Chain A
Amino acid sequence: MSDETRRRSHTGRVVACLVAGCALVVLLALLSLAIGSKNLSIGEVWSGLLAGDGSRESIIVWQLRMPRTVLAMLAGTALAVSGVLMQALTRNPLAEPGLLGVNAGAAFAVVIAISVFGAARSGDYLWAAFAGAGLASVFVYLISVRRTRASDHARLVLAGVALTATLGACTRIITLFDATAFDSYRFWVIGSVADRGIDVVMSVLPFIAAGLIVALLLGPSLNALALGDDQAVALGVPVAALRILVIATITLLCGATTAAAGPIAFVGLVVPHVLRLVVGVDQRAILGLSALVGPSLLLAADVIGRVVSQPSELEVGVVTAFIGAPVLIALLLRRRPA
Chain B
Amino acid sequence: MTGPGRGSVPRGYARFRMPVGSSLLVHRRSAVVATVLLLFAATLAIVEISTGTYDITPSGAFRALLGEGSDVDRFIVVDQRLPRAAAALLVGAALGASGAIFQSVSRNPLGSPDIIGFTTGAATGGLAVILLLGASTATTILVGTLVGGFATAAVVIALAVRRGATGDRLVLSGIAVAAMLAATNDYLVSRADIQDAEVAQAWQYGSLNAISWAPLLPLAVVLVFAMPAALVASRSLRILELGDDTAAAVGLRLVRARTVALALGVCLAAIAVATTGPIGFLALAAPQLARRVARSPGVTVLASAAMGAAILVGADLLAQRLLSPFQIPVGLVTAAVGGAYLVWMLALAPAHRSR
Contact = CB atoms under 8 A, between A and B. Distances in A.
B172 A182 contact: no
Contacts of B190: 186-187, 190, 315
A326 B176 CA distance: 7
Interface in A182-213: 182-183, 186-187, 189-190
B335 A158 contact: no
Q: Chain A interface: which size bin? A: 35 or more
Contact of B340 (A156, A166, A190, A321): A166
Contacts of B182: 321
A177 B346 contact: no
A318 B184 CA distance: 7
Interface stretch (A77-85, A168-176, A219-227, A285-293): A168-176
Q: Chain B interface: which size bin? A: 35 or more
B131 interface: no
A165 B189 contact: no
A190 B205 CA distance: 16
A231 interface: no
Interface string B172-207: 110111011011101101110010011001100100
Contacts of A168: 335
B163 interface: yes
A162 B339 contact: yes
A190 to B, nearest CB: 5
B355 to A, nearest CB: 10
Interface stretch (B5-13, B240-248, B324-332): B324-332
A318 B187 CA distance: 7
Which secondary structure dominates chain A's binding surface?
Answer: helix
Nearest to A330: B176
B343 A162 contact: yes
A181 B332 CA distance: 17
Nearest to B187: A318
B168 A329 contact: no
A265 B183 CA distance: 10
Contacts of B323: 177
Contact of A186 (B177, B183, B186, B333): B186
A317 B340 CA distance: 25
Contacts of B340: 162, 166
Given A159-B343, A177-B323, A312-B191, A190 B186 contact: yes
B110 A318 contact: no
Nearest to A170: B336
Interface string B201-242: 110010000000000000000000000000000000000000
A157 B175 contact: yes
A169 B183 contact: no
Contact of B346 (A158, A169, A182, A322): A158
B342 interface: yes
B281 interface: yes
A97 to B, nearest CB: 14
A155 B354 CA distance: 10
Contacts of A266: 179
- Residue in A143, A162, A176 whose Cβ sees the most chain B Cβ within 10 Å: A162
Contacts of A170: 336
Interface string B125-149: 0000000000000000000000000
Given A169-B336, A173-B332, A173-B336, A333 B183 contact: no
A99 B342 CA distance: 15
Given A165-B339, A166-B339, A177-B326, A318 B347 contact: no
A333 B332 contact: no
27 contacts: A158-B171, A159-B347, A165-B281, A166-B336, A169-B205, A170-B336, A172-B205, A176-B332, A177-B323, A182-B201, A186-B189, A186-B201, A187-B190, A190-B187, A190-B190, A265-B179, A315-B187, A318-B183, A318-B186, A322-B180, A325-B176, A326-B176, A328-B176, A333-B169, A333-B172, A337-B169, A338-B168
Interface of A: 99, 143, 146-147, 154-159, 161-163, 165-166, 168-170, 172-173, 176-177, 179, 182-183, 186-187, 189-190, 265-266, 312, 314-315, 317-318, 321-322, 324-326, 328-329, 332-333, 337-338
